[in-house]
Chain A
Amino acid sequence: MATDLQLPVFTNNSENELAGRWGMVIDQDICTGCQACVAACAMENNIPFVGEADAGYGRTMHWIRIERFWQGTFPEVKMTPYQPVLCQQCHKAPCEPVCPVFASVHSVSEDINLQVYNRCVGTRYCANNCPYQVRVFNWRDYTDARQRPELVTLQNQLNPDVTVRRRGVMEKCTFCIQRIRHVEDTAQSEGRDVRDGEVVPACAQACPADAIVFGRVDDPTSKVSKAAITSRGSHMLEELGTLPRVTYLAGGSAQ
């Protein structure tokens, strides 16, 4: 007799492509590459400083990074617009089906990709299968004061709403789910719906140029939906069919 284990089922429901709830628009034309989002994200989400030695191995941990490329051949080079790259919260995420322990799961209610830290056993399949290279791995207990006494004062700035990750777990951008939950809870206690623009992730809050807009993409009147449907919009590595939830705007008057 078959037992229903209530495991997540991976289905190819492409008719729900646009049914995503949360989405982000990043305007590359007004992004100045100042890295304020990187710093804000690290502070909000308890992302540790890995130290010089581990950074040398390429183990730096950031949930958002600013990518920049050169166009043309030297000396006639021109810089492409700065591109902040974070987890694209794909509707069909390549990281999800490869996880052997269902630590990388799709949230049915919020339609974002989750990383369940206590399930994760650190196989790193998800990071290897992520086309955006946005997943980072805890190679050590970076926040353990016994192992890193030089960082003990930084313990006081840890965000109590976010898990401090242990060694051996994968982590990534969560679209600041703790802020989404807090706003939903506040809205529920006040007996109303979540207003457009009420949920502000740390990166969008810190952005001095307001290049990052966050909101509900299933609501056509929201600020993020209106920004996403302009002709400048594109998705990163769209040809892979991952249906990312982050829209990049580029090719405006700046170019």
Chain B
Amino acid sequence: MIKKFFDALNQPLGRIGVLITLLVVFSAAVWGIAQTQKPPEQPIQFPHNLHVGVGIQCLYCHSGALRGASPGLPTETKCWGCHQQMAITNTSPLLKPLVQAVENNQPINWIPVAQVPDFVRFVHRPHIAAGLNCEVCHGNVSQMTVYQNPQVLNMGWCLACHRAKTEDNIQNNPGRDPAITAALATKRTKLTDCSLCHY
């Protein structure tokens, strides 16, 4: 039985069969990986570029970033507060889900995109307080419609920034001040500690 199978593989047709099988497996893998890289389908195709384009600050809608861990999403009434005042958006069919959400008093189920795993605790506040702008991590949102992560949000990327910001070099310590050197070392210990994010 097994010998017969290997004999069949030795035939030209059998080899073509093996080749086709391998191709199918390979393309399935490529398709599968490509599926995981797609941004998820949102309930509304939210055009970030238009909103940033008319000069709305990130913190106007994602105001939690200034105070706490999660930047939060605006409530549907906050969206509608602006949109009902504009003739174009008031009647737009694209905003039907928003109108429905306001009328039914139901939240819009946005799919989170810039996410960290459950075992990571990310707090926005200290990052804003450290003078980082939103686009440092979230990319140029004025060029995006639906938000996409500009890079993989993994630990190596976090740590690279934490290490770079606390390195005793010419940018962080231009005057070679020993007090700043010591402060940077303390900060580095803290910013590279596991307990900073994992608990």
Q: A133 on the interface (CB 8 Å rule)?
A: no
A-B contact count (CB 8 A): 54
In the complex, which residues 78-126 of chain B have their Cβ closer than 8 Å to any Cβ of chain A? 117-119, 121, 123, 125-126
Residue pairs across A and B with Cβ atoms less than 8 A apart, 12 shown, are A105-B194, A107-B194, A108-B189, A109-B186, A110-B195, A114-B199, A117-B198, A118-B119, A162-B199, A174-B199, A185-B126, A188-B126
Do the beta carbons of A189 and B121 come within 8 Å of each other? Answer: no
In the complex, which residues 146-199 of chain B have their Cβ closer than 8 Å to any Cβ of chain A? 186, 189-190, 193-196, 198-199
B199 neighbours in A (Cβ, 8 Å): 114, 161-163, 174, 177-178, 181
The tally of residues in B whose CB lies under 8 Å from a CB in A reads: 18
B195 neighbours in A (Cβ, 8 Å): 107, 109-110, 112, 114, 174, 177, 181
Bound: A181/B195 CA distance, A: 9
Q: A116 on the interface (CB 8 Å rule)?
A: yes
Q: A164 on the interface (CB 8 Å rule)?
A: yes
Bound: A117/B199 CA distance, A: 8
Whole-angstrom distance between the Cβ of B132 and the nearest chain A Cβ: 15
Q: B129 on the interface (CB 8 Å rule)?
A: yes
A116 neighbours in B (Cβ, 8 Å): 194, 198
B121 neighbours in A (Cβ, 8 Å): 161, 163, 178, 181
A109-B193, A118-B198, A163-B121 are known contacts; what are 18 more A-B pairs with Cβ within 8 Å? A107-B195, A108-B193, A109-B186, A109-B189, A109-B190, A114-B195, A114-B198, A114-B199, A116-B194, A161-B69, A161-B199, A163-B118, A163-B198, A164-B118, A181-B196, A181-B199, A185-B125, A188-B126
